[in-house]
Amino acid sequence: MPRIVARPARRGFLHPATRRDIARALALVGPEAAYGLRSIELVHAPPATSDGLPPLGRFCVPGRILLFEQPRPPWRVPVSLAAETVGILERSGAVVVEDARIGVTIVQWPGDSLRDFMIVEVLLHEIGHHVLQHHKGKRIARIARTRDHEAFARAFAARYRQAWLQRDGRE
Amino acid sequence: MTPRRIELLGDGIENPGNALAMVHAARMYGAECRFRDTRGLAADPSLAGAGFSPIADEALQHGPARRIAFDNLSGAAEVYSFRPGPESVVMMGNERRGLSYECRRLATDAVQIPMLSRRINCLNVAAASAVALHYLSHVHVGPMSVGGHPARRRPDLLIVGRSDHVELGSALRSAAAFGWERVLLEDRGGVWFDCDRVVRSEGRAAARRGRNDIRLVRCPPDARFDYPDVVVVTAAGAGPPLHRVSLAGGPGQLVVLADEGAGALVESEYARLGRHVRVATLDLPRAMEAYHFRLLATVALAEVARQVGRRQPGERPARPTLPVYDRGLARAATQAGELVRFSDLLAY
């Protein structure tokens, strides 16, 4: 099992997924997928991108996953989000409202939806990157085009999405 | 200054083509070439009348005082700054096995050409002979440069193949051995890309393509580039000697090696390659009796490799950047797409 390292979030931020949530997600995907993972770290967010969009997570080859702290909801994003991104957010339970007049998108996260979003769309997604990378054995080389890598990670997260949401009999 | 007298000795050379090229290389530098003929080369009809001169072991022992084993032996000095003395004999070994035990035992010095490739660790024997004679008898230069990041100093290389596939293949082998990972190739004579199976196989064999992973970028004969500095290397001409030209300009510099076997170089033809085109010559002491592109190309490549240099011994290459995959939100496109008609593209 990988080490789970948590660094307390700064004021105004939070880590939506706790160590316990991460351990449950790892149990869900099983030891085969987690094999080779060295650490999962809850860390401070790097500076926001030039778009002002909050970074979510990062997979560093080999075997290191970073989950960044997130602003406390609701999020106020100073740009219009891509339709695909809005679809992902809404599928995770977010309420996305765009104010076209001032060019701001407000994302509400009711209940545990932000935690589920971080687990499914970020953690499991990054574990998908790890599975593909580790399976090839060339652990420090880029083993697929970025587009293919992302496609595999998306498919991996989608595969476990239902299992995560149904783990407590919620859906 | 006492003129140097240098001899070339081929020890157990088995390919008549290599033996002939060694004879021509020796004549190019005013040296004598002899062979310790353990492979029956003397009987080969292609060497009849070519000045093939065998030597017996006893005569070898009574030859010049400095007997230089030219092979990548352990502890061998590098050829660039080696001073052989007034009289010496350079012993070149068999193509596959290298120098024989007898010659190594007789040798007073060991000299080698520093190789920069991990996969190609030796040159064609005739090409290596030309490099040896060039630096031991003709030019006086300093040792190979040593310092960090030689890749930043290595110029791009354009080879123009025109007449002979084996000569071209051998030049590509030299380029790989001297550390180039990519070569631009203009195949004007159709001897590399658009050729029949036999020519193709022989060229690839000469390039040691099984081990030689150099990347060849095919360039059409009229391709235009925008290199800030272009150095065209010729066998003879009015330009400065190659070793007096700076050849460590990095990727902004292009070194052009053209096979002049099918005709002399037309300098104006290379204006399309960059903004500032210069011509440098190998400054050979004598005219070539028979043109061998591999000899000239290898000498030129050796000089570029000397100036580019190598890392400090023990210095490790920079670690590759590890892949990172970020997850984030994506913003919508700020501008709507623009419709373009196919006819507009054609007219562009």
CA pair distance A125, A140, nearest whole angstrom? 19
Does this model's pTM top 0.80? My answer is: no
**CB < 8 Å to B322, chain A:** 60-62, 140
What ipTM is given for this predicted complex? 0.90
Using the Cβ of A93 and the Cβ atoms of chain B, whether some distance falls under 8 Å is answered with no
Residue A126 inside a domain? The answer is yes
If you classify domain B5-138 with CATH, what class do you get? alpha beta
B61-B62-B63-B64 Cα dihedral, nearest 10 degrees = 100
CA pair distance B136, A164, nearest whole angstrom: 75
Average pLDDT, chain B: 87
The reply to whether residue B323 touches residue A49, judged by beta carbons under 8 angstroms, is no
Q: Are B326 and A67 in contact (CB under 8 A)?
A: no
Report the pLDDT value the prediction gives residue B332, as an integer from 0 to 100.
Answer: 73
pLDDT in tens, A81-104: 888 899 999 999 999 998 877 878
- B324 close contact with A: CB closer than 8 A: yes
Does residue A51 surpass a pLDDT of 70?
no
Contact A138, A36 (CB under 8 A): no
Whether A169 shows a pLDDT value over 90: the answer reads no
In a mutational test of the A interface, the residue from B319, B322, B325, B334 whose CB has the highest number of chain A CBs within 10 Å is B325
Q: Which domain holds residue A62?
A: 3-165
Is residue A33 assigned to a domain? Answer: yes
Positions in chain B short of pLDDT 70:
1-4, 265, 315, 317-318, 333-338
Q: Give the pLDDT confidence score for residue B330 in this predicted structure.
A: 82
Query: Would strands A75-77 and A104-108 be described as parallel, antiparallel, or unpaired?
Result: antiparallel
In a domain, A26, yes or no: yes
pLDDT in the model for residue A78: 84
A26 pLDDT above the threshold of 60: yes
Q: Which of A60, A80, A149 sits opposite B322 (nearest CB)?
A: A60
Residue of B nearest to A147 (CA): B325
* Count of domains observed in chain A: 1
CA pair distance B90, B35, nearest whole angstrom: 11
Residue A82 to residue B325, Cβ atoms within 8 A: no
Per-residue pLDDT reduced to its tens digit, B239-269: 899 999 999 999 899 999 988 877 776 777 8
Residue by residue, what is the 3-state secondary structure of B277-308?
EEEEECCCCCCCCCCCHHHHHHHHHHHHHHHH
Identify the pLDDT of residue B1: 47
The token pair at A133 is 């990378």
Encode pLDDT of B290-321 as tens digits.
889 999 999 999 999 999 998 887 767 667 77
Which pLDDT value is given to residue B172?
A: 95
Residue B188's pLDDT is what? 87
Q: Domain coordinates of chain B in residue numbers?
A: 5-138, 150-308
CB B308 within 8 A of CB B150: yes
Fold type of domain B150-308: Alpha/beta knot (3.40.1280)
Indicate whether A170 belongs to any domain.
no
Residue A41 in this model has a pLDDT that exceeds 50: yes
Q: How far is B237 from chain A (nearest CA, A)?
A: 48
Residue A122 above 50 pLDDT? Answer: yes
d(CA B141, CA B98): 26
Report the DSSP beta bridge partners of residue B184.
B158, B217
Mean pLDDT for chain A overall: 89
